[in-house]
């Protein structure tokens, strides 16, 4: 089934016409109402009236996360605050979080695009959907919620955690569609197995997952464990949240909701726009957002866009699953982690030299983070218990900084690689290529 | 009466202990006594050598993390209950021990225990008052 056939199966010429009209409107609105954009456009010597074709978008300056952060909290809003009905923020792992503001119409748009996506997964008004995404400032929970309610499905807003309860509800309520992050899904599957749940007795028909990088091996594992197909959800808080691109039952890339978001792929070094099919950094523009229209946002996610005809009948461009990042951000257990945060934590410990290495692994499909730290004279004690305490202290300090538990290993001095130029701080043993 | 002891940080990795001992062997430094304390991923190798400061320099030149600390050497009778007699003295003075290790010298037919109390000066005092026979550094190093 297709939720909005008129939009989702729009002939390309019509879509481009609609996109151009909306692009002109949104650029003007941003220029007139957001001082940041006025300044940026003026500096670049460009006026909203210069946008005559879709290709002209390439003349507009790019927006980065730092730009959004500089406007913290409400500097990017294009409407008076009385028009804003809801706020969300990014996790704020790298500094001040970025704030996202939504008008009533923006929430409606969100509900629309998520309804399209959940319909791709087979959700109907007769179904029960169990939403394990967290409800709160994180956009995951509410995005799924709005879409499901728009369809008229029954939502179980359970959020993440309480895993045994999740499984009990999955069985007792007869959940039809389950939403989770891949790593939580696999954990859920393990606990279900321990609890003796037979997937054949469940009423599940599909799974939607997002917010983390994943491999086809992980998807297969999820599908095998639950015995139903699993579909990908893409989104980011700065632009809206989940619902920017979603996967249809062809399971061959995610359809970008092009009537609301304009995708481009750029070379992250030259900043040139790349043709369809080429891998690069995804750049997104809000075409219809009122509260906080974002023009040409650099997502730092690496993907490619493909225009080939999809067997599902939808005409929206498809993007490949995210296979990497242009920065050194790691996603571990769904949480964004930067090596600089770990360094910051280490520097808070007296006597410690910040020679470290981060090793990410995924044994049994669950992320684990090991931080190897070189022991130093200032740290070394003849007492085993003191060394163990120091290790514990380092673990706690990192936990405070990044929000997830890590294992710290003390290694001998000068054993970690010293590289000329850019240090190799991260060894990611997880493979996202397959 | 304090004996200098080397503590060396070792990663729990193949060949690391041998590497440390190699440094000493190549410089002709004999080991009088040793013990190792370990947790899963690292350990502390404790050594008594005749030239602790020199050994520390050599090991550090080879990137080992080394500390010199003090222990007490006490002679005990090499027979059942020998160690207990020493511990009893410390117990009665409420001196808590972090660790100890012992070794036997066959030539002299005596056993030596190396003690590391939390309070090393208190330990020395208690042992002396309790009549234990403390061995001076020269004897331990030279032995």
Residues B59 and B28 in one domain: yes
- At A422, the pLDDT band (50, 70, 90 cuts) reads very low
Checking DSSP bridges between strand B42-48 and strand A261-266, what pairing results, if any? unpaired
Nearest CB partner across the interface for B7, out of A376, A382, A388: A382
CA distance A312 to A327: 34
Residue A190, Cβ density class (10 Å: 0-12 exposed, 13-18 middle, ≥19 buried): middle
Omega prior to A2 cis, within 30 of 0: no
Domains of chain A as residue ranges with CATH: 5-327 (3.40.50.12780), 331-428 (3.30.300.30)
Name, of A214-228, A300-314, B129-143, the range with top average pLDDT.
A300-314
Residue A380 is predicted with a pLDDT of 86
pLDDT digits (tens, 9 = 90+) for B62-106: 989 999 999 999 998 878 888 999 999 999 999 999 999 998 876
Provide long-range contacts, Cβ within 8 A and 24+ apart, for B12-19. Answer: B12/B38, B12/B40, B12/B41, B12/B42, B12/B43, B16/A412, B17/B45, B19/B62
Element at B50 (helix H, strand E): none
Report the chain A residue with the minimal C-alpha distance to residue B46. A382
- At A377, the pLDDT band (50, 70, 90 cuts) reads confident
- Could you tell me the residue range of the domain that residue B60 belongs to? 2-68
Instruction: Tokens 């809801």: give the residue.
Output: A86
Phi/psi of residue B58, nearest 5 degrees: -65, -40
Q: What is the CATH number of the domain that holds B96?
A: 3.30.70.260
Q: Which residue has the higher pLDDT, A46 or B142?
A: A46
Report the chain B residue with the minimal C-alpha distance to residue A382. B7
Residue A194 clears pLDDT 50, i.e. is over it:
yes
Complex ipTM = 0.79
CA distance A351 to B129: 39
Lowest-pLDDT choice from A136-150, A343-357, B118-132: A343-357
Scored b (16 or more CB within 10 A) or e, A28-52 reads ebbbebbebbeebbeeeebebeebe
Report the chain A residue with the minimal C-alpha distance to residue B41. A409
Contact call for B42 and A415, based on CB within 8 A: no
Residue A328 clears pLDDT 80, i.e. is over it:
no
Mutation target to probe the B interface, by most B beta carbons within 10 A, among A373, A412, A418 is: A412
Query: Do A15 and A258 form a contact (C-beta atoms < 8 A)?
Result: yes
Contact call for A412 and B64, based on CB within 8 A: yes
CA distance A153 to A168: 20
Rounded to 5°, angle at Cα A223 from A305 and A8: 35
Retrieve residue A22's tokens: 């909306």
Q: Chain A partners of B46 at a C-beta cutoff of 8 Å?
A: 382
pLDDT digits (tens, 9 = 90+) for A257-287: 999 999 999 998 899 999 999 999 999 999 9
Query: Do B37 and B23 form a contact (C-beta atoms < 8 A)?
Result: no
Query: Do A72 and A98 form a contact (C-beta atoms < 8 A)?
Result: yes
Contact call for A384 and B64, based on CB within 8 A: no
Residues B64 and B95 in one domain: no
Could you please report the per-residue DSSP string of A282-344?
EEEEESS-SSS---SEEEEEEE-EE-SPPTT---S-EEPPP-EESSS-EEETTEEE-HHHHHH
Contact call for B9 and A377, based on CB within 8 A: no
Residue B108 clears pLDDT 80, i.e. is over it:
no
Q: Of B21, B47, B68, which residue is a domain's last?
A: B68
Residues B64 and B106 in one domain: no
Query: Mean pLDDT, to the nearest integer, of A354-383?
Result: 85
Tell me, yes or no, if A383 comes closer than 8 A to chain B by beta carbon.
yes
Residue A425 is predicted with a pLDDT of 77
Residues B87 and B127 in one domain: yes
Q: Of B53, B68, B83, which residue is a domain's last?
A: B68
Q: Which residue has the higher pLDDT, B131 or A124?
A: A124
Q: What is the CATH number of the domain that holds B19?
A: 3.30.2130.10
Residue A423 is predicted with a pLDDT of 53
Residues B54 and B88 in one domain: no
Name which of A369, A427, A363, A432 is nearest A219 in CA terms.
Answer: A432
Residues B33 and B95 in one domain: no
Nearest CB partner across the interface for A412, out of B38, B63, B116: B63
Q: Of B68, B92, B125, which residue is a domain's last?
A: B68
Residue A434 is predicted with a pLDDT of 52
Contact call for A382 and B16, based on CB within 8 A: no
Residue A304 is predicted with a pLDDT of 96
Residues B75 and B89 in one domain: yes
Residues B54 and B82 in one domain: no
Mutation target to probe the B interface, by most B beta carbons within 10 A, among A355, A382, A384, A411 is: A382
Mean of all residue pLDDT scores within chain B: 90
Residue A375 clears pLDDT 50, i.e. is over it:
yes
Residues B88 and B25 in one domain: no
Q: How many CB atoms lie within 10 A of CB B67?
A: 16
The count of C-alpha atoms lying within 13 angstroms of the C-alpha of B32, restricted to the half-sphere facing its C-beta, is 25
CA distance B90 to A336: 54
Q: Chain B partners of A384 at a C-beta cutoff of 8 Å?
A: 37-39, 44
Query: Do A107 and A96 form a contact (C-beta atoms < 8 A)?
Result: no
Residues B51 and B102 in one domain: no
Give the percent of chain B with pLDDT over 90.
Answer: 67
**What is the domain count for chain B?**
2
Residue A315 is predicted with a pLDDT of 97
Tell me, yes or no, if B98 comes closer than 8 A to chain A by beta carbon.
yes
Total residue length of chain B:
143
Residues B56 and B76 in one domain: no
Positive or negative torsion for Cα A211, A212, A216, A218 = negative
Query: Mean pLDDT, to the nearest integer, of A84-91?
Result: 92
Residues B58 and B47 in one domain: yes
Total residue length of chain A:
434
Which residues, in sequence order, are bridge partners of residue B104? B111
- At A420, the pLDDT band (50, 70, 90 cuts) reads very low
Query: Mean pLDDT, to the nearest integer, of A27-33?
Result: 97
Tell me, yes or no, if A381 comes closer than 8 A to chain B by beta carbon.
yes
């Amino acid at each position: 089934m297709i939720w909005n056939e008129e939009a989702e199966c729009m002939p390309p010429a019509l879509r481009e016409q609609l996109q151009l009209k909306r692009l002109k409107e949104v650029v003007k609105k941003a220029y007139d109402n957001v001082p940041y954009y006025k300044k940026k456009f003026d500096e670049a010597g460009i006026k909203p009236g210069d946008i005559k074709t879709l290709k002209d978008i390439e003349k507009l300056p790019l927006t980065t996360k730092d730009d959004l952060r500089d406007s913290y909290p409400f500097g990017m809003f294009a409407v008076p605050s009385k028009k804003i009905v809801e706020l969300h923020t990014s996790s704020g792992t790298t500094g001040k979080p970025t704030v996202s503001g939504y008008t009533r119409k923006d929430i409606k748009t969100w509900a629309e695009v998520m309804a399209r996506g959940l319909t791709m997964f087979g959700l109907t008004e007769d179904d029960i959907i169990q939403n394990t995404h967290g409800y709160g400032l994180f956009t995951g929970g509410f995005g799924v919620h709005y879409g499901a309610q728009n369809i008229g499905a029954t939502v179980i807003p359970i959020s993440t955690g309480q895993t045994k309860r999740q499984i009990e509800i999955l069985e007792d309520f007869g959940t039809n569609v389950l939403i989770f992050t891949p790593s939580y899904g696999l954990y859920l599957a393990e606990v279900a197995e321990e609890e003796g749940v037979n997937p054949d007795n469940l009423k599940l028909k599909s799974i939607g997952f997002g917010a983390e990088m994943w491999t086809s091996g992980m998807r297969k594992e999820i599908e095998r464990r639950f015995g139903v197909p699993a579909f990908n959800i893409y989104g980011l808080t700065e632009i809206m949240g989940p619902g920017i691109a979603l996967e249809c039952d062809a399971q061959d890339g995610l359809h970008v909701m092009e009537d609301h978001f304009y995708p481009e792929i750029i070379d992250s070094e030259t900043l040139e726009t790349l043709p369809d099919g080429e891998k690069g950094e995804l750049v997104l523009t809000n075409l219809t957002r009122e509260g906080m229209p974002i023009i040409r946002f650099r997502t730092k996610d690496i993907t490619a866009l493909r225009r080939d005809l999809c067997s599902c009948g939808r005409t929206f461009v498809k993007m490949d699953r995210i296979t990497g990042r242009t920065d050194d951000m790691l996603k571990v257990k769904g949480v964004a982690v930067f090596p600089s945060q770990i360094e910051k934590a280490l520097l808070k410990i007296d006597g410690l030299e910040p020679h470290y290495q981060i090793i990410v692994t995924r044994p049994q499909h669950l992320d684990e983070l090991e931080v190897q730290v070189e022991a130093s004279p200032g740290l070394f004690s003849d007492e085993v218990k003191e060394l163990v305490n120091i290790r514990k202290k380092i673990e706690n300090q990192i936990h405070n900084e990044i929000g997830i538990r890590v294992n710290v290993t003390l290694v001998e001095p000068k054993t970690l690689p010293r590289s000329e130029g850019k240090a190799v701080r991260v060894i990611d043993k997880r493979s996202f290529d397959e | 009466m304090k004996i200098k002891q080397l503590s060396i940080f070792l990663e729990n990795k193949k060949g690391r202990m041998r590497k440390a001992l190699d440094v000493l062997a190549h410089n002709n430094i004999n080991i009088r006594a040793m013990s190792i304390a370990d947790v899963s991923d690292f350990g502390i190798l404790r050594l008594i050598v005749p030239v602790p400061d020199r050994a520390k320099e050599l090991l550090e030149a080879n990137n080992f993390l080394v500390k010199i600390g003090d222990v007490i050497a006490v002679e005990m009778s090499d027979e059942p209950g020998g160690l207990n007699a020493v511990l009893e003295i410390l117990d009665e003075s409420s001196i808590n021990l972090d660790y100890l290790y012992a070794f036997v010298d066959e030539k002299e037919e005596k056993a030596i225990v190396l003690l590391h109390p939390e309070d090393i000066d208190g330990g020395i005092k208690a042992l002396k008052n309790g009549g234990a026979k403390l061995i001076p550094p020269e004897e331990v190093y030279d032995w």
